[in-house]
Structure 1
Amino acid sequence: MTTTTDIDPTNRAQAQAWDGTEGDYWAAHPDRFDTALARYQPAFHAACDVGPGDRVLDVGCGTGLTTRAAARAAPDGEAVGVDLSARMIDVARSTTEALGVPNARFGRADAQVHPFVTAEFDGVISRTGAMFFGRPDAAFANLARAVRPGGRLTLLTWQPADRNEWIQVFARTLAGREMPPSAPGQPGPFSLSDPDHVRDLLTAAGFADVALDGLAEPEVYGRDAEDAHAFVLGLLGWMVADLPPAERDRRVEALRAAMAAHEGPDGVTFGSAAWLVTARRR
């Protein structure tokens, strides 16, 4: 797929983050992020229902695990992954080449405005990547145009923050407060957490038979407390970077204690809850 530089103005802040230090961290630790979501992958992949000859678009593909899974399920078709992070796209390409998945392609693009060929895909998928659009109404309308009539949409999105232990613990220890509820439509990990909002949004965009199935799985953040502490602090250290040294040290130690409290035989795990969203293009 051809890389494009067209970014919708409402997505510029997200592009700066995902094509900047945040995306670079994800690109440097692909296995860690895939491991965190691994318990969700079987149900998500099954819901994608990719056929042998399908062409699939993977939105917010990151380093390409879900794109490769779709490509393997479509040996006579193709899977195309798009993301705002050039670094993650580079990792996706190199990993895919090393693993020998020739029908998976990648490109940097803003799926909200990218000029996909009308009805060129049999399905659109996104595992925790569709919650960051500045204009979700425009984005899903653009994706609907890219899917043939009767084609599928499959998303994994987070349920509200108060059902996700991981974000509450990270916010409480590092930011010193609980994670507030997200306003529907505001870009962020919980922007598609309200089922009524999701149904209205996708129906208006051109999808039908919108269904949300609740899933709950543990997320794994490290082998042990020290491993998980280093990983999460590397990701979210910006939350404490501007604090006075004593307060910064106190919150870093609070995070360490939280990791120790969640250490078990499967590593450091936190509760999480997601929606498995499925729909059909009208």
Structure 2
Amino acid sequence: MKKNYRKIIIVALLLINCIGLSKVCSAEITNNLTSNNIESKDRLEKIKEKGVLTILTSDLAPFAFIDTKTNQPTGIDIDIMNVIAKELGVSKVEMKVAPFPDLLEKLNTDDNIDVAASGIIITEKRKELVAFTDPLYKESEAIIVPKVSRINFKEDLKNAVVGAQSGSVYMDLAEKWKKEGKVKDVVIFESIPELLSAISVKKIDAGITDSIIGEYLLVKENLYLKILQPYSQEAPAIIGIGVRKSDVNLLNAMNKKIDDMKKDKTINKILEKYGLSDKYLY
């Protein structure tokens, strides 16, 4: 009798454990299914629904900046995005601003941002963070020096203190040159205006920046600076617009319009508007 009683207790305990485990397993499966079934609305659908395409930039001319006369976003990348927005059926382009080194991280973490566009050079490292559109245009580095300077050739940089913008590919190039003994030292600045100001007041001997920025700002701002010539460029680059890797439909729609803009020479006209020649066409 005792043996049978023990058997009954053991069987009962086993049944209780099985029921408990069954509930746990069942809960896990239900949670997984719920999680998988929650689908966020497609980015392209969101943009069309709100009627606004929000672009994150570093507020840097001539790529993307606020026109002081109209108080409206303008610039090469903004003009390109305006054309793309119309193709998407969107009537308004909105610009938000963040420091250049933070653009791609903020794009991935702020759901209110749709794309990042601020003369962003496509690199393998950046492609780990976001997807890029097809190339829009190309550029390279430029060496900026005071109009009256002891630096007349690239070789003269060996004894020079050189500046570059934080987070830019030209910061990486400047630091590479320092390791190779091609420049004396490197100073990093948070923005291009700070960099150009430091060159103007001779806090540093020269600066490395985008050739497009060099050509545009030196003419528009009438700065007492110049681009070092002759100079053999080392870092040719291509510019694209950053998109979240998950926003595939948006990326495809943008690339389709970018291809059209290259064929009908819309991008040529936009570059020309900002005083840039066909040498920047990709």
**Is TM more than 0.5 here?**
no
Larger-gyration structure (1/2): 2
Instruction: Please state which structure has a larger fraction of its residues in strand.
Output: 1
Instruction: With the length of structure 2 as denominator, give the TM-score of the two structures.
Output: 0.32
- Higher relative contact order, chain-length normalized (CA < 8 Å, sep 6+): 2
Instruction: With the length of structure 1 as denominator, give the TM-score of the two structures.
Output: 0.32
